[in-house]
């Protein structure tokens, strides 16, 4: 489907699937909630600043209220102390929602293999995209965003995908 | 100038009081050492260490006492900063401080069992937290002590003519850097009482140091104050070099000075950009943040990384400057100056900026010293303490620059001191680059620095040398040392205990943000909620070094 094809005549009816139309609409109106805790949050500042400029990709409306956001970017180390807070924020976001884990710490604990650092946020919440690097360059996060948009356009994500997820903080 | 003193535990309290009277009234750090696995037998298994600085700022003293029982008198009534420092020792080592007003965990969470920095605690044993601390008992004590509420006979509380509302600021809040939680009691918009909780970014730096070699720790230091990684690298390796008795070449010293000042600029621009955004001045963010991008480009060209540079090594640095560095540096400085100029033109005579910042978030000189605040935050109160002037290292005495001081200790002073320091740092960088000495950037000592690649590939000695240094690390002589430099946020110190191996036995960071944060709840009380945001921004709390 080429909804954004400028060559289409003005009064055109397009036959498409509803899912695809919705995916197309979602693609460029992601509202990120940035859960920034450490060094990666400083790199996120670069992503938002004019040189890398996340607004080119329609995802610059950074919300700090989870209830207004649909893309959770976890940027930085998450410790056990931070765990319940991250979980609460994830729970407060309404569906549909996507989670990007930015940086080695959020993905796996990074080189903090010790008593206080959670060994990857997927211990407690489901993650859709992992971005490696310590910290990742801004381009890497933009790449993750573009890949997420591509998947939204092609409807790779269905809302049932994390149905069976059980995190360490979920009630048994 | 410094001295190390060991005092018996029954006399320690009086001894500290005497030192206090002598003028050692600036408490840098309190920490403990667990000697259970130490190579030399010690008097007792645990010791507590106090590091005090004299009011002339030129001398410091390290006082150690061995504990037969894990209990010691609190000094929090002498130094306000001792409150949090003692809590940390309690949290990490389980040492009880008698008469402490609020002895509870500070870095680890409330469900945590055990004391992680004890040698017996396994490094990878994590413990889940299920529910966040509500801080209500701490808040109630604070409310009672400030007489905002009164306790009734039936145990309930009653508000004294005020309509109190409680609010959590953070930890997930855009202005709280994601990791600082402040629980406030509001009367209207005014903060009556505040208590802060930290430790959300406690990622076990000090424990991790105990199972990595000295050079492996350098990348960890990057992530202490991640806004100016190189200055942490330098603070750490300088302490190790002092223990080894290494003197760097003049070129290496000059390069370190230049990079320290570049980091200072890098750090200050991001602090200023953020504090101005917190005030609603988004335009300033672009003016201040874009030069930072240029500094990133320069540093990636030099070190290979934008943010976490890991450029320093024990005994020098990874590589010399590249060809054309000087011209690139000049360009970057020009862009920084342009950004500062543009920002100042927007705020210097701006009524809103003045109204929002002047006489807001004030801390007095005496309180700032008692909390052991340091760096720009202390200088904003009018105390001209700057290690670059008071205890010069790396030839800082050769360079001409001024110590920028404020007068009131409010948000305005803290912001303006940082603007001033950017100018002074540029002056220093220009002086360094004018007279950059020739020579090696690393010492040539086979027991400290790696051999050349050629030697590794062609000679057996070189290969063995590389192997031994990489696997065993630099061997530091048995001993204990406190070393510090004037980092971007103030005095950044490392207390290192070596057992003679290539891995430190213990590392403690004296983090400037930690002491600044301990003053924060008192600073915002009586001001409005929106002022609390500015106060936090202007203190430049970096969670990485605060929580470690």
Sort out which chain A residues have CB atoms less than 8 A from B228's CB and list them.
none
Cα–Cα distance for residue pair B30/B52, rounded to 1 Å:
9
Residue B436, CB-side half-sphere exposure with 13 Å CA sphere: 17
As a CATH number, domain A18-151 is 3.40.50.12280
Identify the domain boundary among B177, B197, B217: B197
pLDDT digits (tens, 9 = 90+) for B219-230: 999 999 888 899
For residue B20 the two structure tokens come to: 């206090």
B159 and B257 fall within a common domain: no
Spell out which chain A residues touch chain B, with contact meaning CB-CB distance below 8 angstroms: 34-39, 41-43, 45-46, 49-51, 64, 76-77, 79-85, 89, 105, 111-119, 134-135, 137, 168-169
Q: For position B434, which CATH number holds? A: 1.10.645.10
Nearest to B128 among A50, A113, A168 (CB): A168
Cα–Cα distance for residue pair B133/B137, rounded to 1 Å:
10
B406 and B289 fall within a common domain: yes
Residue B518, in any domain of the structure: no
Whether a cis peptide bond, with omega within 30° of 0, leads into A96 is: yes
B57 and B150 fall within a common domain: no
Cα–Cα distance for residue pair A130/A101, rounded to 1 Å:
5
Nearest to B420 by CA among B366, B380, B361: B380
Looking at the complex, report in whole angstroms how far the Cα of residue A99 sits from the nearest Cα belonging to chain B: 16
Cα–Cα distance for residue pair B240/B237, rounded to 1 Å:
5
Where residue A3 falls among pLDDT bands split at 50, 70, 90?
low
B355 and B439 fall within a common domain: yes
On whether the CB atoms of residues A93 and A66 are closer than 8 A, the answer is: yes
Q: How many domains is chain B built from?
A: 3
**Pairs of CB atoms within 8 A across A/B:** 131
Contact criterion met (CB < 8 Å) for B172 and A76: no
Q: What was the pLDDT predicted at B159?
A: 67
Whether a cis peptide bond, with omega within 30° of 0, leads into B426 is: no
Nearest to B108 among A83, A89, A116 (CB): A116
On whether the CB atoms of residues A65 and A89 are closer than 8 A, the answer is: no
Residue B104, in any domain of the structure: no
User: Can you spell out the DSSP letters for B40-78?
Assistant: S--SSSEEEEEEEE-TTSS-EEEEEEEESSSEEE--TTT
| β-sheet bridge partners, residue B30 | B50
Where residue A2 falls among pLDDT bands split at 50, 70, 90?
low
B175 and B314 fall within a common domain: no
Cα–Cα distance for residue pair A56/A36, rounded to 1 Å:
21
Angle at A113 between CA A93 and CA B106, to 5 degrees: 70
Long-range CB pairs of B477-482, under 8 A, 24+ apart, other chains included:
B477/B243, B477/B244, B478/B39, B478/B40, B479/B243, B480/B4, B480/B33, B480/B49, B480/B62, B480/B64, B481/B239, B481/B242, B481/B243, B482/B2, B482/B28, B482/B29, B482/B51, B482/B60, B482/B62, B482/B239, B482/B510
Ranges of residues in chain B with a pLDDT under 70 are 1-2, 152-155, 157, 159-161, 178
- CA dihedral (B425, B428, B433, B438) positive or negative: negative
Residue B358, in any domain of the structure: yes
Residue reference for tokens 């535990």: B9
Q: What is the DSSP letter of B396?
A: G
Distance of CA A28 to the CA centre of its chain: 13
Residue B548, in any domain of the structure: no
Q: For position B83, which CATH number holds? A: 3.30.460.80
Nearest to A115 among B116, B130, B286 (CB): B116
Residues A146-171, mean pLDDT to the nearest whole number: 81
Q: What was the pLDDT predicted at B13?
A: 86
Q: What was the pLDDT predicted at B455?
A: 86
Q: Are strands B479-487 and B190-197 parallel, antiparallel or unpaired?
A: unpaired
B191 and B276 fall within a common domain: no
Q: What was the pLDDT predicted at B259?
A: 92
B222 and B323 fall within a common domain: yes
Where residue A58 falls among pLDDT bands split at 50, 70, 90?
confident
Taking CA atoms, B46 is separated from B68, B95, B108, B270, in Å, by 8, 9, 20, 41
Sort out which chain B residues have CB atoms less than 8 A from A113's CB and list them.
123-124
B90 and B154 fall within a common domain: no
Cα–Cα distance for residue pair A102/A77, rounded to 1 Å:
9
Kindly give, in sequence order, each residue whose CB lies less than 8 Å from that of residue B413, ignoring residues fewer than 6 positions away. B380, B381, B406, B407
Q: What was the pLDDT predicted at A4?
A: 67
Sort out which chain B residues have CB atoms less than 8 A from A119's CB and list them.
126
User: Can you spell out the DSSP letters for B315-373?
Assistant: TEES--PPTTHHHHHHHHHHHHHHHHHHHHHHHTT-HHHHHHHTTSS---HHHHHHTT-
Nearest to B253 by CA among B421, B385, B425, B392: B392
| β-sheet bridge partners, residue B189 | none
Kindly give, in sequence order, each residue whose CB lies less than 8 Å from that of residue B34, ignoring residues fewer than 6 positions away. B45, B46, B93, B117, B118, B119, B506
Kindly give, in sequence order, each residue whose CB lies less than 8 Å from that of residue B84, ignoring residues fewer than 6 positions away. B106, B514, B515, B517, B518
Residue A23, CB-side half-sphere exposure with 13 Å CA sphere: 20
Q: Are strands B164-169 and B181-187 parallel, antiparallel or unpaired?
A: antiparallel
Three-state SS for B259?
helix
On whether the CB atoms of residues B13 and B75 are closer than 8 A, the answer is: yes
Residue B116, in any domain of the structure: no
- CA dihedral (B16, B19, B24, B25) positive or negative: positive
Residue B125, in any domain of the structure: no
B22 and B170 fall within a common domain: no
Kindly give, in sequence order, each residue whose CB lies less than 8 Å from that of residue A29, ignoring residues fewer than 6 positions away. A58
Q: How many CB atoms lie within 10 A of CB B157?
A: 14
Structural domain span for residue B438: 205-510
B401 and B492 fall within a common domain: yes
Q: What was the pLDDT predicted at B430?
A: 92
Residue B515, in any domain of the structure: no
User: Can you spell out the DSSP letters for B151-192?
Assistant: E-TTS-EEESS--EEEEEE-SS-GGGTTT-EEEEEEETTEEE
Q: What was the pLDDT predicted at B161?
A: 65
Nearest to B486 by CA among B127, B214, B251, B232: B232
Residues A18-45, mean pLDDT to the nearest whole number: 85
pLDDT digits (tens, 9 = 90+) for B318-330: 888 999 999 999 9
Residue reference for tokens 């290539």: B502
Three-state SS for A36?
strand
Q: What was the pLDDT predicted at A172?
A: 54
Q: Rounded to 5 degrees, what are φ and ψ at A37? A: -120, -30
Sort out which chain B residues have CB atoms less than 8 A from A80's CB and list them.
109, 126-129
B344 and B407 fall within a common domain: yes
Interface with chain A: mutation pick from B196, B198, B201, highest number of A CBs within 10 Å:
B201
The residues spanned by each domain of chain A are 18-151
Three-state SS for B19?
helix
Cα–Cα distance for residue pair B206/B116, rounded to 1 Å:
10
Whether a cis peptide bond, with omega within 30° of 0, leads into A134 is: no
Angle at B416 between CA B410 and CA B421, to 5 degrees: 125
B158 and B258 fall within a common domain: no
Q: Is pLDDT above 80 for A19? A: no
User: Using N-to-C axis directions, what is the helix angle for A138-153 and A18-27, rounded to 10°?
Assistant: 160
């Amino acid at each position: 489907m080429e909804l954004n094809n400028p060559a289409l005549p003005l009064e055109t009816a397009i036959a498409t699937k509803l899912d695809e139309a919705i995916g197309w609409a979602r693609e460029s109106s992601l509202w990120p909630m940035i859960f920034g805790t450490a060094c990666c949050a400083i790199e996120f500042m670069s992503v938002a600043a004019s040189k890398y400029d996340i607004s080119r990709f329609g995802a610059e409306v950074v919300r700090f209220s989870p209830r207004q956001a649909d893309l959770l970017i976890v940027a930085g180390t998450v410790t056990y102390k931070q765990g319940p807070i991250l979980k609460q924020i994830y729970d407060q976001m309404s569906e549909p929602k996507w989670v990007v884990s930015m940086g080695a710490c959020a993905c796996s604990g990074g080189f903090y293999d010790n008593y206080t650092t959670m060994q990857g946020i997927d211990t407690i919440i489901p993650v859709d995209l992992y971005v490696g690097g310590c910290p990742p360059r801004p381009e890497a996060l933009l790449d993750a965003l573009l890949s997420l948009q591509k998947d939204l356009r092609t409807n790779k994500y269905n809302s049932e995908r994390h149905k069976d997820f059980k995190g360490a903080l979920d009630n048994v | 100038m410094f001295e190390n003193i060991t005092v018996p535990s029954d006399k320690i309290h009086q001894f500290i009081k005497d030192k206090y009277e002598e003028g050692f009234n600036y408490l840098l750090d309190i920490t403990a050492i667990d000697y259970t696995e130490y190579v030399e037998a010690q008097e007792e298994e645990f010791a507590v260490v106090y590091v005090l600085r004299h009011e002339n700022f030129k001398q410091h003293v390290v006082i150690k006492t061995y504990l037969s029982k894990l209990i010691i008198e609190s000094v929090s009534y002498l130094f306000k900063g001792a409150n949090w420092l003692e809590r940390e020792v309690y949290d990490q080592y389980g040492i009880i401080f008698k008469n402490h007003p609020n002895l509870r965990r500070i870095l680890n969470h409330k469900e945590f069992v055990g004391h992680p920095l004890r040698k017996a605690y396994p490094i990878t044993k994590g413990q889940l937290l299920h529910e966040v601390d509500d801080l209500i008992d701490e808040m109630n004590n604070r409310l009672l002590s400030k007489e905002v509420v009164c306790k009734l006979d039936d145990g309930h509380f009653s508000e004294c003519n005020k309509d109190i509302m409680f609010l959590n600021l953070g930890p997930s809040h855009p202005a709280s850097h994601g990791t600082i939680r402040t629980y406030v009691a509001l009367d209207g918009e005014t903060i009556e009482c505040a208590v802060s909780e930290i430790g959300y970014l406690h990622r076990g730096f000090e424990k991790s140091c105990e199972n990595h070699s000295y050079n492996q720790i350098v990348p960890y230091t990057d992530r202490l104050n991640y806004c100016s990684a190189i200055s942490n690298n330098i603070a750490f390796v300088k302490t190790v070099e002092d223990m080894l008795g290494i003197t760097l070449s003049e070129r290496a010293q000059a390069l370190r000075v230049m990079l320290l000042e570049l980091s200072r600029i890098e750090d200050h621009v991001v602090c200023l950009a953020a504090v101005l955004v917190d005030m609603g001045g988004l335009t300033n963010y672009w003016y201040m943040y874009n030069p930072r991008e240029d500094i990133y480009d320069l540093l990636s060209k030099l070190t290979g990384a934008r943010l976490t540079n890991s450029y320093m090594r024990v005994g020098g640095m990874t590589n010399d400057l590249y060809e054309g560095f000087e011209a690139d540096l000049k360009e970057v400085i020009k862009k920084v100056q342009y950004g500062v100029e543009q920002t100042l033109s927007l705020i210097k005579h701006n009524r809103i900026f003045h109204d929002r910042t002047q006489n807001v978030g004030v801390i007095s000189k005496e309180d700032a010293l008692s909390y052991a605040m340091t760096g720009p935050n202390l200088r904003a109160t009018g105390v001209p303490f700057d290690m670059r002037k008071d205890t010069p290292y790396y030839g800082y005495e050769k360079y001409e620059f001024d110590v920028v001081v404020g007068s009131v200790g409010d948000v305005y002073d803290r912001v303006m001191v940082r603007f001033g320091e950017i100018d002074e740092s540029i002056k220093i960088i220009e002086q360094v680059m004018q007279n950059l000495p020739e020579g090696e950037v690393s010492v040539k000592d086979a027991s400290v620095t790696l051999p050349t690649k050629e030697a590794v590939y062609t000679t057996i000695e070189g290969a063995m040398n590389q192997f031994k240094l990489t696997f065993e690390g630099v061997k530091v002589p048995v001993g204990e040392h406190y070393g510090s430099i004037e980092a971007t946020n103030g005095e950044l110190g490392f207390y290192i205990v070596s057992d003679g191996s290539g891995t430190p036995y213990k590392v403690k960071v004296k983090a400037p943000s930690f002491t600044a944060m301990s003053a924060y709840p008192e600073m915002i009380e009586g001001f409005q909620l929106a002022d609390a945001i500015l106060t936090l921004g202007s203190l430049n709390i970096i969670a990485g070094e605060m929580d470690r």
